[in-house]
Every structure is written in structure tokens, then in C-alpha cells.
């Protein structure tokens, strides 16, 4: 009989922990991004610094190129996709780790973990691809990726895996008041 209250107490604690777990926004939700980094959910959030990032999202779009930056304070995820004029797969290439994509001609991805592990992870030619599912050129993009493998810039043997990536950006509504 003493075992029953113990089991009930453990079940209540376990179920209450699940209520506090963050959840990924659905891909149908505008101006959202999420992915798992080594199995841990990453969702951008407001945070300070320079520049101050609203909703954890910074987007630049020019000449059919999308530069996307997502942050939550300690982690930044940078994605750069060039010449996005149709749906389909966009294969990643080798990034230099500088998060400066000006005039780059290849699709790149970086994850800055300097505040977490002291490392930056970058895409390579074998990292994988990002699938553009829907597109209104120069206005709106919906994309996803199943698995992207990035290597540590200073130790290529060390990798991180990004999974379940999904993004929905609409430039017309990105910075409207909520």
C-alpha cells in the first residue's frame, strides 16, 4: 500500500516536467524557426546584445539570396541560401566560420556555440541539404531539413547534428506588432 503513493507521486512529477518543456512551433506558423541540435530543441528568442534581435530572428533578403540568423542568447544558427528562385533541395557547401555571407555564392550554415562550448560549427560539402517547400520570390519562404551535420571549425572530428529543422518566414509580417 505504501508503494501506491510513491508511484503516484513519481507520475505527477514526471508529467509536470513535460508541461514546462518548450515545444517547436508548427511549420505553418509564420516567422518561426526551430530545429534540434544534438537532440535538444532550439527555438529563437528575444535577446539583447548588438544588434538586439526581436523574436530571435534576423533576416536579409537580396537578389534571391536569403541570409537567416536565429539566436536565443547563447546559441546562434546562421543559414545562407543563394539564388532561391524555385522549390527544391539546396545543398550546403564549406563555410569559413565567419558568419559573413556578403557576396558568397554557395549555400552555407553555421552554428555559433561560443558561449556554450567555445566552438563554432560549420557546413561542409557533405553536411546535407535544405529543402525549400514553398516560395514567393523575395517575399516568403518555407523550408525544412531532416539532418544536417556540421563540423567544429577548430576540430573537424567533432560534429553536431541538426535535425527536424523547419522555417517559415514572411517578410511582409516579420516585424509587425503582435
Average pLDDT over the chain reads 84
pLDDT tens string 110-138? 999 999 999 999 999 999 999 999 999 98
Closest by alpha carbon to 153, among 114, 115, 104, 102?
Answer: 114
Mean pLDDT value of segment 100-113: 93
Partners of 149 in the beta sheet? 161
On the question of pLDDT at 22 being above 70, the answer is no
User: What pLDDT is stored for residue 47 in this prediction?
Assistant: 59
On the question of pLDDT at 19 being above 90, the answer is no
User: What pLDDT is stored for residue 77 in this prediction?
Assistant: 96
Placement of cell 522549390 in the chain: 87
For residues 151 and 124, the answer to whether their CB atoms sit within 8 Å is yes
On the question of pLDDT at 14 being above 60, the answer is no
Mean pLDDT value of segment 161-171: 96
Burial class (CB in 10 A: 0-12, 13-18, 19+), 15: exposed
Closest by alpha carbon to 169, among 145, 135, 125, 122?
Answer: 135
User: What pLDDT is stored for residue 4 in this prediction?
Assistant: 33
Residue 96, SS3? coil
| Between residues 50 and 94, the one the model is more confident about | 94
pLDDT tens string 57-75? 889 999 999 999 999 989 9
CB contact set of 87 (below 8 Å; sequence gap of 6+): 131, 132, 133, 134, 135
Cα 45 to Cα 32, 55, 116, 151, distances in angstroms: 10, 5, 16, 25
For residues 101 and 67, the answer to whether their CB atoms sit within 8 Å is yes
**Per-residue cell: 99:** 558568419
Residue 18, SS3? helix
Domain boundaries, the chain: 24-170
pLDDT tens string 136-155? 998 999 999 999 999 999 99
pTM of full prediction above 0.75? yes
User: What pLDDT is stored for residue 56 in this prediction?
Assistant: 82
| Between residues 56 and 30, the one the model is more confident about | 30
The separation between CA 178 and the C-alpha centre of its own chain, rounded to angstroms, equals: 22
Amino acid at each position: 500500500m505504501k508503494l501506491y503513493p510513491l508511484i503516484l507521486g513519481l507520475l505527477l512529477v514526471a508529467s509536470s516536467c513535460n508541461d514546462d518543456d518548450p515545444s517547436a512551433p508548427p511549420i505553418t506558423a509564420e516567422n518561426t524557426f526551430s530545429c534540434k541540435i544534438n537532440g535538444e530543441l532550439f527555438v529563437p528568442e528575444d535577446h539583447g546584445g548588438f544588434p538586439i534581435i526581436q523574436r530571435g530572428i534576423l533576416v536579409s533578403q537580396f537578389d534571391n539570396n536569403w541570409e537567416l540568423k536565429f539566436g536565443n542568447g547563447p546559441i546562434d544558427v546562421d543559414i545562407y541560401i543563394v539564388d532561391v528562385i524555385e522549390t527544391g533541395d539546396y545543398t550546403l557547401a564549406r563555410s569559413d566560420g565567419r558568419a559573413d555571407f556578403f557576396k558568397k555564392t554557395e549555400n552555407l550554415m553555421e552554428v555559433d556555440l561560443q558561449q556554450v562550448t567555445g566552438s563554432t560549427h560549420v557546413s561542409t560539402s557533405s553536411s546535407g541539404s535544405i529543402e525549400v517547400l514553398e516560395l514567393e520570390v523575395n517575399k516568403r519562404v518555407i523550408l525544412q531539413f531532416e539532418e544536417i551535420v556540421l563540423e567544429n571549425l577548430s576540430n573537424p572530428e567533432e560534429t553536431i547534428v541538426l535535425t527536424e529543422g523547419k522555417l517559415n518566414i514572411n517578410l511582409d509580417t516579420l516585424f509587425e506588432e503582435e
